[in-house]
């Protein structure tokens, strides 16, 4: 089973922050990191999960109603009096570039299923190629047409289609969305594993992100493998790879 850090190490550190990614790159044996991107009002790519800033910052409103300069003023409470800022994609690439050139993978989820974000695909592909890290990037989205666009822009791109059920992921892949991997919810494995043989299936979990308390539950990854899952996005990969609970 390949283990990825979901929004960085997002159980013990604020999701999608430089600190969460710094922790992730330090984990020996981690296959990759997952993150989410949105566009600001002035067209800059920022690493942020929600369309609105309300849940994780001290601001309110849509990400795309803020310029980058305005967005950078918002504060993310990182505990013990520490403040984090919303990182740009470039800042995260600065942090991860060496690791990405040394075997680590990065799943960039385009959060464009609610806000369509005109031009997002061109911008992120251009940024990736300028750094020469294209072989280490997996693009994903719940928006199949966006993935189709990525495939048309970059015939070599690695692409995962997101959906709740693995059967819906497969349906969209066969329908020509351009994906070469399936990214279902881990409880959406509604197919016979035999029919998934040879297909990359990266499953995502949910909930219990920072600052909520860890559940203390350790998943049986062997059982997930039996269902046809090849990779998992975990909020606390350090627990699985380093045996740490704090």
162 binds, among ligand G3P, Ca ion, none (CB under 5 to 8 A by kind): ligand G3P
Rounded to whole angstroms, the Cα distance separating 192 from 62 reads 41
Contact pattern for ligand G3P over residues 116 through 145, marking x by CB under 6 A:
------------------------x-----
Residue 48 found at the interface with ligand G3P (CB under 6 A)? no
The answer to whether 208 is a known catalytic residue is: no
183 binds, among Ca ion, ligand G3P, none (CB under 5 to 8 A by kind): ligand G3P
Contact positions toward Ca ion, by CB under 5 A?
36, 109
Continuous H helices in the chain: 18-25, 68-71, 89-100, 120-130, 144-153, 166-174, 221-226, 237-241
236 binds, among ligand G3P, Ca ion, none (CB under 5 to 8 A by kind): none
Please state, as a whole number, how many other Cβ atoms lie within 10 Å of the Cβ of residue 85.
Answer: 16
187 contacts: CB under 8 Å, gap ≥ 6: none
The answer to whether 49 is a known catalytic residue is: yes
State which of residues 233, 234, 237, 239 lies at the interface with ligand G3P (CB under 6 A). Answer: 233
79 contacts: CB under 8 Å, gap ≥ 6: 211
Provide the minimum distance between the beta carbon of 119 and Ca ion in the complex, in angstroms, as a whole number.
Answer: 20
Confirm if 6 and 34 have CB atoms less than 8 A apart.
yes
Burial of 184 by CB count in 10 Å (0-12 exposed, 13-18 middle, 19+ buried)?
Answer: buried
Provide the minimum distance between the beta carbon of 6 and ligand G3P in the complex, in angstroms, as a whole number.
Answer: 6
Restricted to residues 166-225, the positions that interact with ligand G3P (CB under 6 A) are 183, 204
Contacts to ligand G3P by CB under 6 A? 6, 34, 36, 49, 109, 140, 162, 183, 204, 233
Q: State the catalytic residues.
A: 6, 49
């Amino acid at each position: 089973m390949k283990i990825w850090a979901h929004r960085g190490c997002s159980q013990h550190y604020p999701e999608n922050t430089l600190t969460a990614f710094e922790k992730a790159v330090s984990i020996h044996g981690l296959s990759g990191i997952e993150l989410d991107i949105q566009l600001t009002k002035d067209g800059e790519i920022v690493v942020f999960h929600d369309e609105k800033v309300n849940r994780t910052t001290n601001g309110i409103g849509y990400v795309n109603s803020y310029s980058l300069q305005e967005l950078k003023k918002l504060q993310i409470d990182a505990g013990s009096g520490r403040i984090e800022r919303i990182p740009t994609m470039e800042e995260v690439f600065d942090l991860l570039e060496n690791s990405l050139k040394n075997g680590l993978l990065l799943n960039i989820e385009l959060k464009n299923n609610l806000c369509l974000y005109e031009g997002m695909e061109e911008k992120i592909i251009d940024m990736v190629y300028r750094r020469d890290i294209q072989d280490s990037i997996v693009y994903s989205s719940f928006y199949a047409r966006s993935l189709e666009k990525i495939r048309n822009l970059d015939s070599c791109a690695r692409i995962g289609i997101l959906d709740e059920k693995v059967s819906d992921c497969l349906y969209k892949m066969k329908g020509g969305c351009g994906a070469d991997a399936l990214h279902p919810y881990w409880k959406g494995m509604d197919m016979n594993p035999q029919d998934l043989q040879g297909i990359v299936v990266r499953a995502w979990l949910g909930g219990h992100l920072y600052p909520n308390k860890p559940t203390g539950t350790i998943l049986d990854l062997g059982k997930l493998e039996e269902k046809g899952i090849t990779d998992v996005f975990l909020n606390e990969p350090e627990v699985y790879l380093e045996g740490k609970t704090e």
